[in-house]
Structure 1
Amino acid sequence: MTEDQILAEFRAANALLEGHFILSSGLRSPRYLQCARVLMDGKRAERLAMALSATLPAELRSGIDAVVSPAMGGVIIGHEMGRALGRPAMFLERPEGQFHFRRGFALEPGARVLMVEDVVTTGLSSREAIAAVGEAGGVVVAEAALVDRSGGKADLGVPFYPLIRIDVPTYDPNDLPPELAAVPAIKPGSRAA
């Protein structure tokens, strides 16, 4: 898929939002890609996962034992990536603030894991999820995401394969431009600020 085709998928799902958004990192942004909306159509989710899986080198795709994603945002794309790669897909949850496997999910010791996220901004959630996989005995060999909105700055400690890179400005909440400060802020993501 080309960048224009990918953005067309987001626009068709009304998932490219404009306003004043509080990101999971606490930063503020005038634009937000609502991956939950773009993934709510199964055929669209399948197309995006197939395109995302195609960004991975062949040797990486063939060496993955499992796909793991952090809940909430990564669950649907993680499931679709597991299906696209023919590998089991699991997710991590953080009911008490830290990521853990629950619901009977477990990894074989040394399992080679592809971490899958919907959006990476600072990489904090990804790094926390990668650490949880390590604590559970797995080894994250790479991460894939629908959207990299870090400006290429997120250091995940593993190779990173985004489907699209979106450079949207982000701001510290105490240093907002006047036009953004004039708009009420909303928090569309799943992580508490």
Structure 2
Amino acid sequence: MNESAYLQMFKDTDALLEGHFLLTSGKHSSKYLQCAKILQYPNLADAICKDLAKNFVGQEIDVVIGPAIGAIILSYELARQLNCRSIFAEREDGIMKLRRGFKIEEGEKVLVVEDVITTGGSVKEIIEIVKENGGEIVGVAGIVDRSGGKLDLGYPLKTLLTLEIETYEPDDCPLCREGIPIVKPGSRKMK
């Protein structure tokens, strides 16, 4: 599929939300991409991960890892497509870490995944976990790059959809000035 087909998929599944949203980064936006609305359909998850997997054919990958909760399904399905292990990291006392007995062995080739990448904050936390455990990062994969292709994570980034969706600092948000109520739709609680 091409980018317009993926954008249509977001619209068809009501996964492209419009309003006033508080992003995990702390920034505000008038648009929010709720990938869980797409990934609830196994056939769509399969199609998405088949397309993402094409970017990594011929590369040795031992494990796919993503942050809980948003990237668990994506990590699992992409690992299934790549015939390797799938794990996820999750927050404990506000710190992203491996739990549930998950491990990354020294020298394992690791693909980092995230559903939507805006500032790359969660991805950077996962990258640090991989490095601390001696894994070797092959690349980063995601469904959507909200940075418009401007984000540099230090590793090859492959996404299916690149969008430039404006974000605002909380103290300079036109949506706040208009008095539009703000919503925090993601899985991560803000401090």
TM-score by length of structure 2 reads: 0.94
User: How many Å apart are 1:34 and its aligned residue?
Assistant: 0.2
Q: Distance in 1 between matches of 2:148 and 2:163?
A: 7
SS of the aligned residue for 1:185 comes to: coil
Q: Does residue 154 of structure 2 align to residue 154 of structure 1?
A: no
Please tell me the root mean square deviation across aligned C-alpha atoms, in Å. 1.5
Q: What are the equivalent positions in structure 2 for 1:55-134 lying under 5 Å apart?
A: 56-60=55-59, 63-134=60-131
Work out which of the residue numbers 155, 158, 171 in structure 2 matches 1:174: 171
C-alpha distance in 1 between matches for 2:87 and 2:186? 20
For residue 40 of structure 1, report the CA deviation from its aligned partner: 0.7
Cα distance in 1 for partners of 2:177, 2:20 equals 6
1:95 is displaced (CA, Å) by: 1.5
Query: Residues 30 and 175 of structure 2 are in contact (CA less than 8 Å); yes or no, is this contact kept in structure 1?
Result: no
**Does the aligned pair in 2 maintain the 1:122–1:153 contact within 8 Å?**
no
Offset of residue 121 of structure 1: 0.4
Q: How big is the shift at 1:153?
A: 2.5
How far apart are 1:57 and its partner, in Å?
Answer: 4.5
CA contact (8 A) 1:74 1:116 kept: yes
Supply the distance in 1 between the matched residues of 2:145 and 2:172 (Cα, whole angstroms).
Answer: 23
Q: Is 1:112–1:140's contact at 8 Å kept on the other side of the alignment? A: yes
Q: Deviations over 1:1-20 (max 9, x none)?
A: 11121112212211010000
Shift of 1:180: 6.7
The alignment partner of 1:152 has SS state of coil
Mapped to 2, the partners of 1:48 and 1:184 lie a distance apart of 33
Superposed displacement of residue 191, structure 1:
2.1
Given the alignment of the two structures, is residue 12 of structure 1 paired with residue 9 of structure 2, yes or no?
Answer: no
Amino acid at match of 1:139: E
Distance 1:58 1:20, change over 3 A: same
Inter-partner Cα distance in structure 2 for 1:163 and 1:49: 10
Deviations 1:12-61 (A, max 9, x none): 2110100000011011110111011110111111111111112x14333x
Query: Could you give the per-residue CA deviations for residues 132-166 of structure 1, whole angstroms, max 9, x where no partner exists?
Result: 11112212221000000012222212111111101
Among all aligned residue pairs of Structure 1 and Structure 2, give the percentage whose two residues are the same amino acid: 44
| Gap regions ≥5 residues in structure 1 | none
Give the 3-state SS of the residue equivalent to 1:147 in structure 2: strand
- Residue 42 of structure 1 corresponds to which residue in structure 2? 42
Where 1:67 maps in the other structure, the secondary structure is strand
Give structure 2 stretches of 5+ with no counterpart: none
